Structure 1
Amino acid sequence: MRTKVLPSLLCAGLIAATGLSAASPALAATHATASGAPPAPPAASASTASAASAAADGVREKLERIPGLTVVSVADKDGFPFYTLTLAQPVDHRAPGGGTFQQRFTLWHKAETAPVVHYTGGYGLSSGTREITTLLGANQVSVEHRYFNTSRPSAVDWDDLNVWQQASDEHAIVQALKSLYTAKWIGTGASKGGMTQVYHERFYPGDLDAVVAYVAPNDANNRDDSVYENFFKTVGTQECRAALEAVQREMLVRRDAMLARFEATSKEQGLTFAYLGSADRAFEFSVLDQVWNFWQSGTYTDCPTVPDAEKATDDELYRWSVNHGLSIYADQGNGAEGSGPYYRQAAAQLGWADLKFKHLRDVRKYPDIYQPNSVLPTDMRTTYDGRVMKDVDRWVSTRGERMMFVYGQNDPWSAEQFKPSKNDSHLYVAPDTNHGALISKLTPAERAEAQATVKRWAGQ
């Protein structure tokens, strides 16, 4: 059901579903690997630390003068001040006089004259150093998406969780901080975070000087999933694809034996399945996601580990699946406090991959289960409206300027891509790479070209 987080349903950097042994691998979306956290630089000297402390005091004073902004804390990160902040945001930007909530974000300050990397992971707050930040020696602002974690009002109207409202949140943050930072602003994010930056650029094109979006899916036509179907017909080798499909099928052929193990794992982790309806339904949903998750988080080098589906014992088949893409979608991970806001967005606007699974038709029991509403509590379910996605797709391909898209060759989320315009915009595909594609993983020539472009956009 590709909903865009780490496990296939999720997209890019969150905790997509509740993993069998930990977090689900495919759905969520902008984790450290996808966003490119580099090694930490050397510790600052005493003189540098003293200068950083003085800078922190001056910047804090300016931050505290911004209306609606609260400095929650300040710490040191690699010799530079690191602020945790909140900004009072309207629940509905169409009615700014109504209720508000505190949106959480961080600021890693290097210099007021340095460029600013504006980042969102598309989920909860993630402040790891981005690839672009290191490349440019930039300041970095990291924003928590509305209605995730603490960035939510006490009473939630899920209709206010949409791409325009979040773009308006980010617009407010950028405009507030431009009183301090007048150099170039570069937006970035991976997976759902990359999508979020694209939507920000579409609705507020004057905020950012450029956007670098990693592995950002573009489901402009939610009814047509042929691109995803073709991806699974061509990714890797024919032998690997056949072996993965055989394992996926055998999991359902041996449903009774596998379900017993699935239920035992779920009991150990205290997981329940009220949203999906039963452990059996959750098991089938998880099996449907298995191959997607294998390619999203693994690589072609994992292909030799795929067992012979017919010869493997029940325990061998289950253990391999748990370690290679089988993720449990349970109530504990998919409600309002977990990945639910993402699934709500997928069901309402972002779309999902409704794959056909032709090789599983005679062993499936729930043909309509593979869609985001299935994993949501009743009060969060909704109907899909694809008008905004079509508009964004058209705008990016015709009017977008200074936009860069980086995709992974073997990443399912990279199958449906944005098509950049001819207005100083670019698309790259990192060879033999999954959902963790980065500029640094491009071929040497393309890497140099992309880095030079980003630096030019940043005025360097």
Structure 2
Amino acid sequence: MRHKLLPALFCTGLVAATSLLTGTAATAAGTTSSAAGASAEVTDVRERLDRIPGLTVVSQTTKEGFPYYTLTLTQPIDHRHPARGTFEQRFTLWHKSETAPMVLYTGGYSLATSTREITTLLGANQVSIEHRYFSQSRPATVDWSDLNVWQEASDEHAVVQALKTIYGAKWLGTGASKGGMTQVYHERFFPEDLDAVVAYVAPNDANNNDDSGYEKFFRTVGTPECRAALNAVQREMLVRREQMLPRFEATAKEQGLTFQYLGSADRAYEFSVLDQVWNFWQSGTYTDCPTIPDAKTATDDELYTWSLGHGLSPYADQGNGAEGSGPYYRQAAAQLGWADLKFKHLADVRLYPDIYQPNSVLPADMRVDYDGSTIKGVDRWVATRGERMMFVYGQNDPWSAERFKPSKRDSMLFEAPNSNHGALISKLQPADRAKAEAAVKRWAGQ
């Protein structure tokens, strides 16, 4: 149910050909010429950005010696009906060179600007986009029905088309988890925008009624001993509900958390316990297994303290409304789907059997009925018509249990051994890493 995730390349900009010149004066002249050329390009880029209709340069600074712009682009609330109004979508641009490849990145949530793995690999420029209706990229009045995968793909299409007036080299889309999903959806609806997509740990819940992939994951991940110990702790947290709930309420009070959306602290507690094992594998590793306490002999404090540090994360109003993760849960409830696990080992200690779904954590005005038709269509398209698409998954990541299946059209899938939701190309086996990096460079024209 959880959605949280998680080295920049520095180019000197100096030309090796200066070695053809002789003497100190020649070297200095070469350096001055190079610097002047770089400065002229930066000035030209800024001027060209200023000329793009609807684009505003909010600020300009530097990142690792290269220009770094914060921008907005005026976007329609509804790309099918532009007359309904507009909003300003935030994004950033890290400029290396007009002739370098461009990496288009979204974290899938609010503005995330970290340098991505393939940006470093390629020495590329990078655009980072804030997803529509997260954080500041929203109109004053939000109609949540406008938050869907096609509208966001259309937003990104507009950004790409605007910046292609400056950057004419290869464009590669990338993102992790929901960001990876977002780039897949962009590729589906606007396949001419990007030359390739590299999606990390991107879930694909194409059939929301079938969670067998997730169920199999939790039956097979790690070792039998680790799985049994985790299940025992999870169960004991509900068996000892009477002792644990006051501790949970104390944690909530310390952190200023309330549970109006879920209905009560007790309901929030159960929801959080249900998510505990998922979170353990999403963010932890098999090396954490020896720390699991013996559920039968651990004291109440030992059990609660360990759980709080290993997956027990309260679902509170403060994180799940419109200003927090609520837009994600709205998307999950409306289109993206969710893992509705059976929790057979908890059947007799659960009090709220229908609670484990995204509408439970949303305010009433954001709740919605599910329609998976768009996601099913994307799944079919990726498997049959998608080209130059790479998927990187983590062996021990629950989100990687239901995956996209790439086509045979110069597309591929890799699994990083013993990796969680932070799987990367750099964590693949050496042969797979070499193959993946070679493909990314080839797609980028390098």
TM-score surpassing 0.5?
yes
Does structure 1 retain, via aligned residues, the 8 Å contact 2:204–2:379?
Answer: yes
* Correspondence for 1:145 among 108, 114, 131: 131
Q: Which residue is equivalent to 1:388?
A: 374
1:159 and 2:145 correspond? yes
Q: Which residue is equivalent to 1:20?
A: none
Q: Distance in 2 between matches of 1:171 and 1:261?
A: 48
In the TM superposition, 1:324-339 aligns within 5 A as 324-339=310-325
Q: Distance in 2 between matches of 1:325 and 1:124?
A: 23
Q: Distance in 2 between matches of 1:251 and 1:143?
A: 40
1:86 and 2:72 correspond? yes
1:104 and 2:90 correspond? yes
The higher-RCO structure (CA 8 Å, 6+ apart) is 1
Give the deviation of 1:283 after TM superposition: 0.2
Q: Which residue is equivalent to 2:21?
A: none
In the TM superposition, 1:430-449 aligns within 5 A as 430-449=416-435
1:308 and 2:294 correspond? yes
Which one-letter code corresponds to 1:113 in the other structure? Answer: T
Q: Distance in 2 between matches of 1:125 and 1:198?
A: 18
Which one-letter code corresponds to 2:280 in the other structure? Answer: F
Q: State the superposition RMSD in angstroms.
A: 1.4
* Correspondence for 2:154 among 139, 158, 168: 168
Which one-letter code corresponds to 1:74 in the other structure? Answer: Q
Q: Distance in 1 between matches of 2:60 and 2:38?
A: 12
Q: Distance in 2 between matches of 1:97 and 1:178?
A: 25
Q: Which residue is equivalent to 1:229?
A: 215
Q: Distance in 1 between matches of 2:283 and 2:38?
A: 38
1:365 and 2:351 correspond? yes
1:340 and 2:326 correspond? yes
Give the deviation of 1:97 after TM superposition: 2.4
Does structure 1 retain, via aligned residues, the 8 Å contact 2:200–2:392?
Answer: yes
Q: Give the SS at the match of 2:72.
A: strand
Q: Distance in 1 between matches of 2:378 and 2:350?
A: 36
Q: Distance in 2 between matches of 1:326 and 1:53?
A: 51
Q: Distance in 1 between matches of 2:234 and 2:35?
A: 55
Give the deviation of 1:50 after TM superposition: 6.5
Which one-letter code corresponds to 2:174 in the other structure? Answer: T
Q: Distance in 2 between matches of 1:239 and 1:414?
A: 22
Give the deviation of 1:57 after TM superposition: 1.9
Give the deviation of 1:54 after TM superposition: 3.9
Q: Which residue is equivalent to 2:257?
A: 271
Q: Distance in 1 between matches of 2:267 and 2:11?
A: 51
Q: Which residue is equivalent to 2:269?
A: 283
| Structure 2: runs of 5+ lacking an equivalent | 15-30
Q: Distance in 1 between matches of 2:11 and 2:363?
A: 47
Q: Give the SS at the match of 1:105.
A: strand
Q: Give the SS at the match of 1:346.
A: helix
* Correspondence for 1:250 among 236, 257, 277: 236
Give the deviation of 1:58 after TM superposition: 1.5
User: How many residues were matched structurally?
Assistant: 429
Q: Which residue is equivalent to 2:204?
A: 218
CA change 1:49–1:410 in 2 (3 A) is farther
CA change 1:263–1:43 in 2 (3 A) is farther
Give the deviation of 1:55 after TM superposition: 3.2
Q: Distance in 1 between matches of 2:305 and 2:171?
A: 46
Q: Give the SS at the match of 1:327.
A: coil
Q: Give the SS at the match of 1:140.
A: strand
Q: Distance in 2 between matches of 1:179 and 1:185?
A: 13
Q: Distance in 2 between matches of 1:51 and 1:281?
A: 62
In the TM superposition, 1:387-406 aligns within 5 A as 387-406=373-392
Which one-letter code corresponds to 1:384 in the other structure? Answer: Y
State the Cα deviation string for residues 395-443 of structure 1 (Å, max 9, x = none).
0000000000000000000000000000000000000000000000000
Does structure 2 retain, via aligned residues, the 8 Å contact 1:52–1:79?
Answer: no
Q: Radius of gyration: which is bigger?
A: 2
In the TM superposition, 1:52-131 aligns within 5 A as 52-131=38-117
Does structure 1 retain, via aligned residues, the 8 Å contact 2:333–2:358?
Answer: yes
Does structure 1 retain, via aligned residues, the 8 Å contact 2:9–2:120?
Answer: no
* Correspondence for 2:189 among 186, 200, 203: 203
Does structure 2 retain, via aligned residues, the 8 Å contact 1:49–1:80?
Answer: no
Give the deviation of 1:40 after TM superposition: 6.6
Does structure 2 retain, via aligned residues, the 8 Å contact 1:49–1:79?
Answer: no
Give the deviation of 1:41 after TM superposition: 4.2
Q: Give the SS at the match of 1:328.
A: coil
Give identity over the alignment, percent: 77
Does structure 1 retain, via aligned residues, the 8 Å contact 2:9–2:121?
Answer: no
Task: Give the helix-richer structure, 1 or 2.
Answer: 2
| Structure 1: runs of 5+ lacking an equivalent | 3-8, 11-27, 32-37
Structure 2 length-normalised TM: 0.94
Does structure 2 retain, via aligned residues, the 8 Å contact 1:44–1:79?
Answer: no
* Correspondence for 1:132 among 118, 121, 131: 118
Q: Distance in 1 between matches of 2:157 and 2:426?
A: 29
State the Cα deviation string for residues 271-312 of structure 1 (Å, max 9, x = none).
000000000000000000000000000000000000000000
Give the deviation of 1:43 after TM superposition: 8.6
Q: Distance in 1 between matches of 2:41 and 2:420?
A: 40
Q: Distance in 1 between matches of 2:107 and 2:39?
A: 28
State the Cα deviation string for residues 256-277 of structure 1 (Å, max 9, x = none).
1111100000001110000000
State the Cα deviation string for residues 231-272 of structure 1 (Å, max 9, x = none).
000000000000000000000000011111000000011100
Q: Distance in 2 between matches of 1:49 and 1:122?
A: 37
Q: Give the SS at the match of 1:407.
A: strand
